[in-house]
Amino acid sequence: AQRVTQPEKLLSVFKGAPVELKCNYSYSGSPELFWYVQYSRQRLQLLLRHISRESIKGFTADLNKGETSFHLKKPFAQEEDSAMYYCALRTKGGSEKLVFGKGTKLTVNP
C-alpha cells in the first residue's frame, strides 16, 4: 500500500530564513509526487509536481528515490508562504487517486 509521511505537523520560521518541509513516501513502484498548498480560507491547490521540475513561488522539490523523499524547500521564506502544505503521491498506470500526507502547517513570522 502507498503511504505518505509528513513528520512535522507544525513548522515555524522567520521571514527570510530557509524552510524545508519534509515528505517521505512508501511505494514499491514508480510514483508521481506532488505538493499541494492550502492558504487560509482558500481551496487546496497544486503547488508543484516532480515531473515538471519547475520552481513555483520560489519553492523547489527533488524526488530522491533512494531515500524515498520529496522534501519541499525555499531559500528565503516570505510571510505569504504561511499555509498548510500537503505532500501527495499518485501511482503511475493505476488509479488516478492521490494519497496525501497529514500536512504541515507553515507559519512564517515577521
Q: Which residues contact another protein by CB under 8 A?
A: 4, 6, 43-46, 49, 86, 88, 95-103
Q: In this complex, which beta carbon is closest to another protein, that of residue 45 or of residue 78?
A: 45
Q: How far is the CB of 107 from another protein (least distance, A)?
A: 16
Q: Is 28 helix (H, G, I), strand (E, B) or coil?
A: coil
Q: How far is the CB of 24 from another protein (least distance, A)?
A: 14
User: Which of 13, 40, 31 is closest to 69 using CA atoms?
Assistant: 31
Q: How far is the CB of 102 from another protein (least distance, A)?
A: 5
Sign, CA torsion 77/80/86/92: negative
